[in-house]
Structure 1
Amino acid sequence: MKHLARAHWANFLYRHTARRWHALRCRWSPTGELRDAFHAERSFTPLDDESGCEMAVAYHYEDERGTLCQGPLCGPWRLTESEHSCPDGVSHPASTAMTTLLLPELFLHHGKSLRMSAGVVHAPDGSLQQLSLIREDARGAWPSKDWSLSRVAALSSPAGLQVALKDAGAPTSTIGAGYAITAGLRQRPITATWAATRVGAAEEDDTVLLCAENRVAIVATARAEGRPFCSGVAWWPADADAATLHTVQAAWDCSGALEEVRYVEFEEIPPKVDL
């Protein structure tokens, strides 16, 4: 298992890459009602020997909370392999209950300056409680040049999702490539059709939330006792150069234990030119 944990830790981007991510975080009810929105910053500074990094978080609220940059939720922390690389992933320094599986693209990145992540929270009875989206830009404080400032999320359907994808020119007809990682940290490259992904296979009883001006879809379902379930998110950035569709999904088994995380990227196929 040690060699799997070592290979997993090697995926950690911020051992050798410095970034300061400027974020807009939004949290909605399953029907799309905005519950909370605020800006934040996450900074990562590699250690001199590239064995880990320094991490710090600042929160910028628009109410009486103001700016929070000190305390147990802010750091700074020092993330190292010996302290935070575990058999089931990388533990977050703020809480051991938060464990990350580091695929090369677990956070959905688009180029070097944009990324996003999504969250799904279930209530104790298995019903959906909250959906969230974190939009991030490394080029400076918001507003972002490429991310929408919209805090609106709309409850949609599988058919509505397909319309949004078609209107945006998302490359759903290509074969995607990416990676999968199991809860035991076994990694492998994968390929998939769009219909084989969690978002592409959304059904009528799923919750489909469209946000960021129809550029992000979060797909989730209620947890049923003794049944496996899977949540997924897709992002099709507004990019004039090439159409790209990113998706990540996490699956849990019948006992509620995390089973696997998959990341797949779909790209537009350039037209064939006959010479």
Structure 2
Amino acid sequence: MIRVGTASWTDPTLLEAGWYPPGVKNDAKKRLRYYAERFNTVEVDSTYYAIPRRRVAELWVERTLDLDFDFNVKAYSALTRHGVEARALPKDLRALLPNPEATGKVPQSQLPPELVEETWRRFFKALEPLRDAGKLGYTLFQFPPWFKPSEDTYGYLKEVATRAQGAGHLPAVEFRHASWYREDVWPEVRKLLEEWGLVHVVVDAPRAKGAPPLVPEVTHPEASVLRCHGRNAETWWAKTKIAAERFDYWYSEEEIDELVEVAKSKLEPKVKRLYVIFNNNYGLEGVAAAHMFMERAGLRR
């Protein structure tokens, strides 16, 4: 089974692009239904920026209960060593910071262990409605470019596996640096991912220096993930005004055909579920690529 969707159904540039009909764009309930009637999965991006709220997860379940549809959730930034935006923390957690009055970015190294521990607890607790309803796909741990192979990062990958599986989640890991795929590194990494039950996220990214290559290898029998970021090399490492600008890219038919071939020949035969997620969420580019992939792969909603 191949499930196709995009990384967010609420990106501001998508909302302004005219994909949602009048009367739907600004109605949260109708907006999710409209999306879920056209795709059978989505990746939730907002959970990276702030700890999710249980009530929101309950509403997602209620609004898609009668549909074959699941949610893949991006892990909160403190759980992937990105640090946090202080202003996004609940007040009681912000009080634990070295500077409780901080409002900007706080690096991981300055986060007290008790804050991180509580973040793990609240993150999993909030997503229980999705898990219990059978609507939780994978949980994405997307690591930053400075997260490179070392004894420390290997240990953290094992911790992620233990915590996520203990909470009933299927953890998927995405590496954002090419060093994980060196010939003298990747075989051992692949072995550890398999041993620890971590899904390897296959990345289609620009051919930029240091960017991860497309390595279509499966490490978990349950699922595989193909995340397509577009191929805009000029913006891959750039600091843009909004995140969506980094993924500003229209996939061509030929490029989509390449991805269909990878999905159908290298990934789908080895797993129960293959998730194909388009993260080129700038305007209509993501939904257009997802629709094209479905058409070229002979898939229906």
TM-score range, shorter chain: under 0.3
Higher helix share: 2
TM-score in terms of structure 2 length: 0.23
Which gives a bigger RCO, structure 1 or 2 (Cα 8 Å, sep 6+)? 2
TM-score in terms of structure 1 length: 0.24
